[in-house]
Every structure is written in C-alpha cells, then in structure tokens.
Amino acid sequence: MGAERPANHGQSTHGLRGDYSRMRPDYTIEQDHGSYSAAEHERWRRLYDRQIGLVPGRACAEYERALRSLDEYEAGIPRFEDVNAKLGRATGWTLVAVPGLVPDLAFFDHLANRRFPVTRWIREESELDYIVEPDVFHDFFGHVPMLFDPVFADFMQAYGRGGLKAEGLGALAWLARLYWYTVEFGLVRTAAGLRVYGAGILSSPGEVDHSLRSPRPRRVAFDLRRVMRSLYRIDTFQETYFVIESFAQLFDATRPDFTALYAEMRGLADVPADAALPGDRLVA
C-alpha cells in the first residue's frame, strides 16, 4: 500500500472493491436496500453502538447535534431516501449511492452540485477496527452528520468546485491533502476543549481517543500551506492532526483563488507525515 492516497479521489477505480458493473455514467447506483443481509444490518448496528458511545465530549457540537437527529441510523444500514429527506431540508445536500471510490472528476462534480457519494457496501467482520477504503459505515457515520452544518456544507461544495479547477492546474495532490487533514482527520478547538470533526476519526473506534488524548501525534494549528505540503499515511493512525478554530476559519482560509497558491506550492518541498517544522504552532 502506498504511503499516500487521497481520501476519496486521486486514483482510478481500477482494482477497487465494489460492484462497478451497473452504474450510471456519473458512477451512481441504486442502493437496493432490500438486498443487504440480516448479518450486514447487524454488523452496522454493532459498529454504530460502539461508535456512538465515543461521540459525547469528543465530537464537535455540530456533528453531535446532527447525529442525534438521525434516528434512521439505529435499526441497521439506513435508507438513502430517509436520510435525504432530512438532509435536503437542512442544507440542500443529497446523498447518492456509489459502488465505492469514484474517479476525481466524478467525485468533484458531485460535491460541486451538493451531492455526496456514499459507498454501498459494508466492511467485513475482519475489518471492524480499521479499513483503508471508505464503506457505508464510514460515509454515513463519519461524513453525513457534518453535511447538516450550513458552513461545512458550503465548504464541501467549494471544495468540489476547487477540485475541478485543481485538476486542470495539475494541483490535485495539494488539494487532496487539504481534504485529508480537514474533512477526514480534522480537529477543532472549542471553548470546551479539542473536538473531532474529521470523518476518518469519527468512524474509527481507536482513533477518536488517539487523536484527542494520545501524547504521540502532533496537533498543529491549521495553516493552509503547511497542510498542503504534508504527506499522509492511510494505513495507521495519523501522526499529525491540524486544528482549526472554527468552520468559518476553514471556509475563509480556502475561499481565495488557489491558482497563485499552487504556483507557490511548486517551490515548497513535501514534508513527511510526522514532520516537526520550525513554524508549527502546537495546540495543547
């Protein structure tokens, strides 16, 4: 496994898990809710029951509020239509079912149109603790609650538009790191203390406490250039987390046209996932 792979984009779908044989040109499929087995629904419930206990006092308030309103999550793998009814009312986003990871442009185009691709399949028994590819639990439990927050919802759409632009500028690697260190593995500093908003953390049984309390990882104040030059690992808990002050900060920092920034990034060397740089401001 390579040391770096973008969260949901940055590589072709070749060789990935999932059934890509019946999809539409935009990579969407029917969820076909009736064909999940009882064992799959039961596996979801175990994942859900374990993970929801980690949310209080650890996830950010925006996430927790939305998750609490999602009672569709309790009985088994949710139906996309049921969650869509609520999500559409909240922020105008729509969940679409996909076979698994989708190519960059298809992914960005969905986000730019406020559609979030959710993987249909659920992980195997042997993968309950850690998987490197997003499954239906990661996508629903980790990502969907944040789409209920208006500022974060707008950020995700802006990211999709930015992806379409970055593709043309040969800048995807930098943009993918931004996604990784915010949408997937972001922490936010609140009056009550550090909280998690990253989906990759929130859907992982071990990484919630690791990210907030372990003395091993570095927790660095968010800095756009620093994030964009930072390599990341997909096969282990993160060695560095970036901490935002608010979702407004994230939205504002990423609002400017990145064209000049990408030109600047070409002159900055990448740094390893565990790098300690002189300019880093550590967050306690």
Q: Which residues are catalytic?
A: 138, 143, 184, 203
Contact call for residues 70 and 82 (beta carbons, < 8 A): no
Partner whose binding site includes residue 254, from Co ion, ligand PHE, none (CB under 5 to 8 Å by kind): ligand PHE
Contact call for residues 190 and 176 (beta carbons, < 8 A): no
Which residues in this chain contact Co ion in the complex, by CB under 5 A? 7, 134, 199
| The one among 257, 267, 279, 284 contacting ligand PHE by CB under 6 A | 257
- When asked if residue 44 is in the footprint of ligand PHE (CB under 6 A), the reply is no
Partner whose binding site includes residue 162, from Co ion, ligand PHE, none (CB under 5 to 8 Å by kind): ligand PHE
Nearer to Co ion, 132 or 277 (CB): 132
Tokens of 104: 């960059």
Packing angle of the helix pair 80-91, 150-169 (nearest 10 deg): 100
The distance of closest approach from Cβ of residue 88 to Co ion in the complex, given in angstroms and rounded to an integer, is 21
Q: Which of residues 97-156 bind ligand PHE (CB under 6 A)?
A: 155
Nearer to ligand PHE, 155 or 242 (CB): 155
Within 13 Å, how many C-alpha atoms sit on residue 96's CB side?
A: 20
| The one among 254, 270, 274, 283 contacting ligand PHE by CB under 6 A | 254
| The one among 6, 10, 162, 200 contacting ligand PHE by CB under 6 A | 162
The distance of closest approach from Cβ of residue 21 to Co ion in the complex, given in angstroms and rounded to an integer, is 23
Contact call for residues 36 and 213 (beta carbons, < 8 A): no
Q: From the CB of residue 143, how many other CB atoms can be counted at a distance below 10 Å?
A: 24
Strands 193-196 and 115-119: unpaired
The distance of closest approach from Cβ of residue 162 to ligand PHE in the complex, given in angstroms and rounded to an integer, is 3
Q: Of how many residues is the chain composed?
A: 284
| The one among 165, 167, 231, 249 contacting ligand PHE by CB under 6 A | 165
Radius of gyration of the chain (CA): 18
- When asked if residue 256 is in the footprint of ligand PHE (CB under 6 A), the reply is yes
Partner whose binding site includes residue 199, from Co ion, ligand PHE, none (CB under 5 to 8 Å by kind): Co ion
Tell me what percent of the chain is helix, strand and coil, each rounded to the nearest 5.
45, 10, 45
Tokens of 161: 């538009």
Tokens of 128: 């309950």
Binding footprint of ligand PHE on the chain (CB under 6 A) = 155, 158-159, 162, 165, 178, 254-258
